[in-house]
Amino acid sequence: MSDVRRGSLSVVGLGPGALEHLTARAREVIAEASVIIGYKTYLRLVADLLKGKRVLESPMRQELARCAEATRLALVGERVVLVSSGDAGIYGMAGPLLEMLFHAGWQPDAGIRFEVVPGVTALSACAALVGAPLTHDFCAISLSDLLTPWPQIEKRLEAAASADFVTALYNPRSGRRTWQIERAQEIFLRHRSPATPVGLVTAACREHQAISLTTLAHMDVTTINMQTTVLIGNHRTFTKHGLMVTPRGYADKYNLQDHLQAESDPDASPPS
Query: Does 176 sit near a second copy (CB under 8 A)?
Result: no
Q: Residue 222 carries which DSSP code?
A: G
Q: 216, 187 in Cβ contact below 8 A? A: no
| Crossing angle (nearest 10°) for helices 150-162 and 179-191 | 30
The region of 94-102, 179-187, 206-214, 220-228 touching a second copy under the rule CB under 8 A is: 94-102
Nearer to a second copy, 8 or 124 (CB): 124
Q: 80, 113 in Cβ contact below 8 A? A: no
Q: How far is the CB of 263 from a second copy (least distance, A)?
A: 10
| The residue type at 235 | H
Strand partners, 39: 58
| The residue type at 35 | V
1, 58, 210, 225: residue in contact with a second copy (rule CB under 8 A): 58
Residue 26 buriedness (CB in 10 A; 0-12 / 13-18 / 19+):
buried
The region of 148-156, 195-203, 206-214, 220-228 touching a second copy under the rule CB under 8 A is: 148-156
Nearer to a second copy, 175 or 270 (CB): 270
176, 208, 218, 253: residue in contact with a second copy (rule CB under 8 A): 253
Collapsed DSSP state (helix, strand, coil) of residue 263? coil
Query: Does 88 sit near a second copy (CB under 8 A)?
Result: yes
Beta strand pairing status for 138-142 and 166-170?
parallel
Query: Does 190 sit near a second copy (CB under 8 A)?
Result: no
Q: How far is the CB of 23 from a second copy (least distance, A)?
A: 5
Nearer to a second copy, 151 or 222 (CB): 151
Q: How far is the CB of 234 from a second copy (least distance, A)?
A: 10
48, 151, 220, 262: residue in contact with a second copy (rule CB under 8 A): 262
CA distance 132 to 186: 25
1, 42, 77, 135: residue in contact with a second copy (rule CB under 8 A): 135
DSSP 25-45: HHHHHHHH-SEEEEEHHHHHH
163, 178, 186, 223: residue in contact with a second copy (rule CB under 8 A): 163
Q: Residue 110 carries which DSSP code?
A: B
Query: Does 271 sit near a second copy (CB under 8 A)?
Result: yes
Query: Does 158 sit near a second copy (CB under 8 A)?
Result: yes
Query: Within 10 Å of residue 242's Cβ, how many Cβ atoms?
Result: 10
Query: Does 25 sit near a second copy (CB under 8 A)?
Result: yes
